[in-house]
Structure 1
């Protein structure tokens, strides 16, 4: 029987938009006017390799008995009873409302696992609302944008942990072999780059067969094709993608769809391998793609392909790493591996780099060690003064991994300059071994316990 999830929340938080996103087509009507959805609607949803039944519901609202609003809520309650889990959606831009708090209690009483989704979190506009969502007591909020398809990788991870594992065939044989690596989930890897960088050729070498079409002509790959690869006892699910050109050069609708598919593969990946041409390395489009990967929060490995065509290779690897740090300071220390997909050079080093990047991307730092570093870092280089008053940075804690994300509590969040945050990130990379992975620091003002008290009259 299919795993069933009901999407619930107050009106106009984006439930139907999320439903359409998950089923892959516009089945539910979407409009800025609240209350468009009335009946519950079911659809077969897919997220990556996960398949489940999704139910779109009317916005939770109160109404007189027998009224249309009350009957809509009865439909929602029926959906909740039939579901195995709930997606509770809030509007991160609007922040928490009394209705959100009331229906959070309703969701808890349902006795079902709940995923808390802070929708409309594109850019940085939803950070404050997502932080407020902790107060609902439904666990860590997952920041998404159903309209723009952002945050689906994090939603995938939460769903995968929630859904039951499918039954495996020949389980007894797997147990007899007793290998720990057999129980590990494959690492999701997307291979991206400009057209004709050699992505399909590399994957064919890893597979040991001509599984993917290759051609000297750019643009051969159109769909994002997923293949399963085993390497030294570890499983990988590798996505071959279409070449990414500058947006201004994309004119045909088919290429637009291919590029959208490639970007979707990046969002679902855990590690992204950016392939660049050894003879035309670190061009503007390469840097744009790398910046996109960093903004999506994926672990990054740079593979410099067609290395077999290079003359005088001595000392060039160190130069490549120096160039990467120069052009991509936002992900300093990113692994750079010289490879030849055609000849098989450097493939072992590339796979090792992928595993290490994945481990760093999942890394967690103990709060005690983090604050010892924080005290030393702020003592060595104190935060600057603003309007004659020095900023007060209180403490820091890690909120999640994948990528490593931290919350820094301070006195004036709006006054902390970006240059000082970059200093903290680079210092943290060196102190805790976080090379080449995105690092997120969110500023949060520490509440003044006396702010609510009125001043005494003089």
Structure 2
């Protein structure tokens, strides 16, 4: 697929153009410069042509150890690997010395460049448009990314640069949230496990837990921007990866802090983007810093994932810093069982995102958890188990009246969802529901994933006749 990068100094409208081309508000947009930090790919359509578009960080002059310098390296890498770059300038503001510096960098790269003059709809932009010729990048294409003006001219410039044949015949893959998969109540056999589609995996955790470093180690390249500063990642970035012939789509997300500490508008947008990524994921890896595990926010994140019905795996990162590993492993697993009863039996992996130790164990845990999350239990086995369970520990009587349980069936997978038919659903308390859920976990191997249990009254076919006769 043809790859096109959007480049330019900060705050010229790169992310606005990216969102317009992908047809959704995927990239964060704000008035302050430097919002975008990582390379963000998306599937773009412009009139009759399709291509991959890559949003990049704004090019800035900075010393080599700074965050801005590392952002610039990511952008230069995007120029290097892309088939074409859209060099965007803000003609409303006018051409700046930074524009001239980076135009020189773009020319020296030898890459194909289209000069894009954004905000051309603004009053007084004519002088800026004419100044754009001084950059030596050819005729500027006048557009308004915000209002959608000039998109036809941009399409023609892209076709002229790359050829029409390379830009046709690609259908966009829609990003749809994972929904519950219904299961027929008459189906007594297990569902076949489908491992042909890419497994969607999100990496979440508190700021500076090592999420982006872990992904870079998995990919074997500096794909995500990393550093000692907390909160570097802002957008939720997806990348494709393959492990042992299994395809994955990995989402890197912004660090999640306690709600009371999230004050700035931009951080709120980043957190909302991370939460959106959870809805697209199937398995969610919660990265915990082994030096300060199980902060209150860590527990909140796991609870959120369970309520969303996603399959969680815990990765204790920075394992290379641990000293007494045997004792620490025992302590962490004990705390996991005690503090996270809603996902009892959740898989935990000790790893180092820096060195790569434990990455294979993590991926094995991810695949196994995904398989459990897709599990289906036959109705016959469910009810044999239910008969034994209720005989051993019947539901509590309420006001002297016994509660009769008729049967149980699994109605959905992803996560496994069961429906219990009982004469008095309101009398089945939370403690008895937990008792049944824990039994399902232990007997049918549904450990470490959220389980949903619904209650309903059995259908009475004579109810409507009684009403008519009375």
- Compute the TM-score of the two structures, normalised by the length of structure 1: 0.61
Equivalent of 1:398 in 393, 404, 410:
410
**8 Å CA contact 1:194, 1:285 repeated in 2:** yes
Partner of 2:439: 427
| Deviation per residue, 1:376-420 (Å, 9 max, x gap) | 111111100011111111100011111001111111111110100
Q: In the superposition, relative to structure 1, how do residues 375 and 239 fare at CA in structure 2: closer, same or farther (>3 Å)?
A: same
Equivalent of 1:262 in 267, 270, 274:
274
Q: In the superposition, relative to structure 1, how do residues 182 and 271 fare at CA in structure 2: closer, same or farther (>3 Å)?
A: closer
Matched position secondary structure for 2:361: helix
Equivalent of 2:258 in 246, 268, 274:
246
- Report how many aligned residue pairs link the two structures: 293
Matched position secondary structure for 2:297: helix
| Deviation per residue, 1:169-226 (Å, 9 max, x gap) | xxxxxxxxxxxx9981110000000000000000000000101100111010000011
Matched position secondary structure for 2:178: helix
Partner of 2:422: 410
Distance, in Å, in 2 between the alignment partners of 1:343 and 1:300 is: 23
Q: In the superposition, relative to structure 1, how do residues 183 and 422 fare at CA in structure 2: closer, same or farther (>3 Å)?
A: closer
**8 Å CA contact 2:198, 2:247 repeated in 1:** yes
Deviation at 1:315, TM superposition (A): 3.5
Distance, in Å, in 2 between the alignment partners of 1:389 and 1:249 is: 50
Distance, in Å, in 2 between the alignment partners of 1:438 and 1:182 is: 20
| Residue 276 in structure 1 maps to residue 301 in structure 2 | no
Deviation at 1:153, TM superposition (A): 2.2
| Higher normalized contact order (CA 8 Å, seq sep 6+, divided by chain length) | 2
Distance, in Å, in 2 between the alignment partners of 1:411 and 1:302 is: 39
Deviation at 1:450, TM superposition (A): 4.4
Distance, in Å, in 1 between the alignment partners of 2:195 and 2:24 is: 31
| Deviation per residue, 1:128-150 (Å, 9 max, x gap) | xxxxxxxxxxxxxxxxxxxxxxx
| Residue 293 in structure 1 maps to residue 305 in structure 2 | yes
Question: Which protein shows a greater Rg?
Answer: 2
Distance, in Å, in 2 between the alignment partners of 1:447 and 1:387 is: 24
**8 Å CA contact 2:177, 2:281 repeated in 1:** no
Partner of 2:324: 312
Q: In the superposition, relative to structure 1, how do residues 404 and 454 fare at CA in structure 2: closer, same or farther (>3 Å)?
A: closer
Bigger shift: residues 315-324 or 192-201: 315-324
Equivalent of 1:208 in 217, 220, 242:
220
Partner of 1:357: 369
Matched position secondary structure for 1:273: strand
Equivalent of 1:330 in 329, 342, 357:
342
| Residue 190 in structure 1 maps to residue 215 in structure 2 | no
- Compute the TM-score of the two structures, normalised by the length of structure 2: 0.59
Q: In the superposition, relative to structure 1, how do residues 299 and 183 fare at CA in structure 2: closer, same or farther (>3 Å)?
A: closer
**8 Å CA contact 1:321, 1:336 repeated in 2:** yes
**8 Å CA contact 1:182, 1:233 repeated in 2:** no
Unaligned runs of 5+ in 1: 1-21, 26-47, 52-150, 159-180
Deviation at 1:324, TM superposition (A): 0.9
Equivalent of 2:386 in 339, 355, 374:
374
| Deviation per residue, 1:343-364 (Å, 9 max, x gap) | 1111111000000000000000
**8 Å CA contact 2:315, 2:362 repeated in 1:** yes
Distance, in Å, in 2 between the alignment partners of 1:318 and 1:384 is: 37
Deviation at 1:49, TM superposition (A): 7.6
Distance, in Å, in 2 between the alignment partners of 1:306 and 1:183 is: 30
Equivalent of 1:232 in 224, 231, 244:
244
Distance, in Å, in 2 between the alignment partners of 1:354 and 1:50 is: 30
Q: In the superposition, relative to structure 1, how do residues 50 and 435 fare at CA in structure 2: closer, same or farther (>3 Å)?
A: farther
- The within-5 A match list for 1:92-107 is none
**8 Å CA contact 2:195, 2:246 repeated in 1:** no
Distance, in Å, in 1 between the alignment partners of 2:424 and 2:240 is: 49
Deviation at 1:318, TM superposition (A): 3.1
Q: In the superposition, relative to structure 1, how do residues 313 and 429 fare at CA in structure 2: closer, same or farther (>3 Å)?
A: same
Matched position secondary structure for 1:316: helix
Distance, in Å, in 1 between the alignment partners of 2:313 and 2:212 is: 17
Q: In the superposition, relative to structure 1, how do residues 197 and 387 fare at CA in structure 2: closer, same or farther (>3 Å)?
A: same
Distance, in Å, in 2 between the alignment partners of 1:50 and 1:394 is: 53
Matched position secondary structure for 1:211: coil
Partner of 1:138: none
Matched position secondary structure for 2:207: coil
C-alpha root-mean-square deviation of aligned residues, in Å? 2.7
| Deviation per residue, 1:72-125 (Å, 9 max, x gap) | xxxxxxxxxxxxxxxxxxxxxxxxxxxxxxxxxxxxxxxxxxxxxxxxxxxxxx
Distance, in Å, in 2 between the alignment partners of 1:306 and 1:398 is: 40
